Amino acid sequence: MISTHVKGHILHLTLNHGLNKLSHQFSTALAKALEDGDTDPNIRVIIVSGGEKAFSVGAALDELIDLLPDEIDHWLAPWEVVATLSKPIIMALDGYVLGGGLEIALMGDILIGTDRTLLGQPEIKLALLPGCGGTLRLTQILGYHRTFELCVTGELITAAKACDYGLLNTVVRHEDLLKKAFEIGEHIEKLSMPAVKATKKLLKKHYDSSPEHDHYLRSERNTFKELLLLNDAHEGLRAFIEKRPPHFVHT
């Protein structure tokens, strides 16, 4: 499900569970691997990558459709671990980076894409919206208008466009993805870790650690829960699972 490899002071986590759908079991395993790396004194940088087809296509919809409102926070909690880590996280993104997969990637510190990376928040097609910080972080990075387009059309963008938007740090050929990730990681691991961690903490405090940030995340999550209870969300999720067009009734 998740393989680990240590090179020097770099921990490389590879998500290798097909399209890496974020089931609760899978996201819990990812959270534990990340937390273990963050507390390991030998590790200074963490790289997270997926497979050739996908970094992650997002939530496991067959689990999501059965969640009760009071179960959603617990189910999503492992995703949020990425945002709490003190060490640099390099996201090596190949293939599809969709929905919750993109939300998790956005919690990293350096994002690298490839010539075959496609990114998007297609939740609107299920009558939902991003539920784990996607609307907030995308607005911070892209501004209102581009975020609106991305979230309301649900269309995917290439890594080249994402890089132009400032969503990715750089784009490389897919065969060079890990080489580039380790090149950056090896540069960082030679630096003073107290200084690196202090820099990350300070930047994160501005980026996503304010009372306004927490208030917005709660508002986003509450809106996600409200939508999940509507008929349209249930229809959207069932239609996707059953591979048919949805028939929304707008309630």
Whether 97 and 56 have beta carbons less than 8 Å apart is answered as: yes
* Catalytic residue chosen out of the listed positions 80, 103, 149, 235: 103
Whether 125 and 154 have beta carbons less than 8 Å apart is answered as: yes
Per the document, the length of the chain is 251
Buried b / exposed e along 133-149 (16+ C-beta atoms within 10 A): bbbbbbbebbeeebbee
- The helices-and-strands tally (H runs, E runs) of the chain is 11, 10
* Catalytic residue chosen out of the listed positions 123, 183, 189, 220: 123
Secondary structure of 111-138 in HEC code, one letter for each residue: EEEECCCEEECHHHHHCCCCCCCHHHHH
Catalytic residue flag (residue 35) = no
Q: What are phi and psi of 56, to 5 degrees?
A: -170, 140
Catalytic residue flag (residue 80) = no
Residue written as tokens 């996503």? 208
Q: Which residues pair with 90 in a beta bridge?
A: 47, 110
Whether 129 and 157 have beta carbons less than 8 Å apart is answered as: no
Indicate which residues carry an active-site annotation.
103, 123
